[in-house]
C-alpha cells in the first residue's frame, strides 16, 4: 500500500499511474490470481483523478485508498471528508490514525476508534496505524503503546471488524528517516499485535498486519519474509514507480 502523503500534482499523478501500469504487468498477473492487493493512497484532491485513471484500465491491479476520513456522516465539519464520499469516488481502503495525524494534528485514540468504526460501517477497509516513538522504544514501552492504541479501537469496535480491517505497525522513529526497523524488531511487534487480537478472537491468523517505516526495494524482501509481516505501508518509495513495483515483487516472494 502506497501512502503518497502530501505529495503530487496533476501531471505527477498521471505519470506515476501510467508508469505503474506500463511497468507492472507481472504485478497485474499476480493480482488477477489474488496473490497480492496493491493500493495507492493519493491526497484527497487527486482521488477522483486517480479513480478515473484506474477505471480506464481493464482489470486494474491498483486499488484506491484515502489517507484519512472523518467519523461523522455529513454536516458542518469544514475541511473534512466522510466515508461515504470516499466510497462515492471509488475508494476501497482508508488509512486511519497515521502517526502524522496523531502527532501533527493531535488525533487521539478515541477519535481514531470512531473513524475506524465509521469507515468499516461504510464498507471501506480501515488500515489502522499503530507505533511507538523513539523515546517510547528506548524506555521499553513499545508493547504498552501499541497495546493502548489497539485497545482503544478494540474497546469500541466489534472484534469481527478485524477480519476485514488491516493493522499497520509503523514505528514513528522509522518513518521518513531512512532508519528501518530490522526484520526481527518488526516481527517481534507484529507477533505481539497478532497475539493481542488472538486474546479476543480466533481470527487473529487472518488479520493482515503491514509494516511501514522506510521500506525500500532493498529491504522489503527481508521484512516480508517474516511470518507475521503480511505486506507494507510505503511512504517515500511509493512515489517512484520502479521502487514501488520492486517492493510489490518482494511481497510476492514465497506466496
Ligand atoms: P516512509 O516509507 O517514507 O518512511 O513512510 C512510511 C509511512 O509513514 C507510510 O504510511
- 183 within 8 A of 144, measured Cβ to Cβ: no
User: DSSP for 185-236?
Assistant: HHHHHHHHHHHHHHHH-GGGGG-EEEEESS--TTTHHHHHTSTT--EEEBSG
What's this model's pTM, rounded to 2 decimal places?
0.96
Please say whether the dihedral angle defined by the alpha carbons of residues 201, 149, 233 and 220, taken in this order, is positive or negative: negative
pLDDT in tens, 123-154: 999 999 999 999 999 999 999 999 999 999 99
Residue-wise pLDDT tens digits, 57-69: 988 999 999 999 9
Per-residue model confidence (pLDDT) at position 254: 75
Cβ–ligand 1 distance for 2 under 6 Å, the answer: no
Q: What is the pLDDT of residues 182-198, one digit of tens each?
A: 999 999 999 999 999 88
Annotated catalytic residue within 107, 132, 170, 187: 170
More confident site: 199 or 88 = 88
- H helices within the chain, ranges in order? 10-23, 25-32, 47-56, 83-88, 99-104, 109-121, 134-138, 142-156, 183-200, 220-224, 241-252
Domains observed in the chain: 2-252 (3.20.20.70)
Any ligand 1 atom below 6 A from CB of 67: no
Residue 128: closest CA among 51, 188, 212, 61:
212
Q: Which atom belonging to ligand 1 lies closest to the Cα atom of 129?
A: 10
The answer to whether 213 and 174 are in contact (CB under 8 A) is yes
Quickly state the pLDDT bin for 204 (edges 50, 70, 90): low
Say whether pLDDT at 235 is over 70. Answer: yes
Res 202 pLDDT > 80? no
Amino acid at each position: 500500500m502506497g501512502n503518497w502523503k502530501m505529495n503530487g500534482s496533476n501531471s505527477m499523478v498521471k505519470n506515476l499511474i501510467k508508469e505503474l501500469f506500463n511497468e507492472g504487468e507481472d504485478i497485474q498477473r499476480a493480482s488477477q490470481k489474488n496473490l497480492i492487493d496493491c493500493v495507492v493512497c493519493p491526497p484527497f484532491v487527486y482521488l477522483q483523478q486517480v479513480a478515473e485513471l484506474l477505471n480506464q484500465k481493464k482489470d486494474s491491479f491498483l486499488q484506491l485508498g484515502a489517507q484519512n476520513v472523518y467519523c461523522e456522516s455529513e454536516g458542518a465539519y469544514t475541511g473534512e471528508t466522510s466515508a461515504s464520499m470516499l466510497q462515492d469516488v471509488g475508494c476501497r481502503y482508508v488509512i486511519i490514525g497515521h502517526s502524522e495525524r496523531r502527532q501533527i494534528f493531535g488525533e487521539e485514540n478515541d477519535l481514531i476508534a470512531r473513524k475506524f468504526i465509521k469507515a468499516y460501517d461504510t464498507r471501506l477497509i480501515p488500515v489502522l496505524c499503530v507505533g511507538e516513538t523513539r523515546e517510547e522504544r528506548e524506555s521499553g514501552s513499545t508493547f504498552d503503546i501499541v497495546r493502548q492504541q489497539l485497545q482503544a479501537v478494540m474497546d469500541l469496535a466489534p472484534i469481527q471488524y478485524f477480519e476485514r480491517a488491516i493493522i499497520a505497525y509503523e514505528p514513528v522513529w522509522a518513518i521518513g528517516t531512512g532508519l528501518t526497523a530490522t526484520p526481527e524488531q518488526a516481527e517481534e511487534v507484529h507477533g505481539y499485535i497478532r497475539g493481542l487480537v488472538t486474546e479476543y478472537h480466533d481470527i487473529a491468523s487472518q488479520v493482515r498486519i503491514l509494516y511501514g517505516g522506510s521500506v525500500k526495494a532493498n529491504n522489503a524482501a527481508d521484512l516480508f519474509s517474516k511470518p507475521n509481516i503480511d505486506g507494507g505501508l510505503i511512504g517515500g518509495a511509493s512515489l517512484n514507480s520502479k521502487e514501488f513495483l520492486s517492493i510489490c515483487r518482494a511481497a510476492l516472494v514465497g506466496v
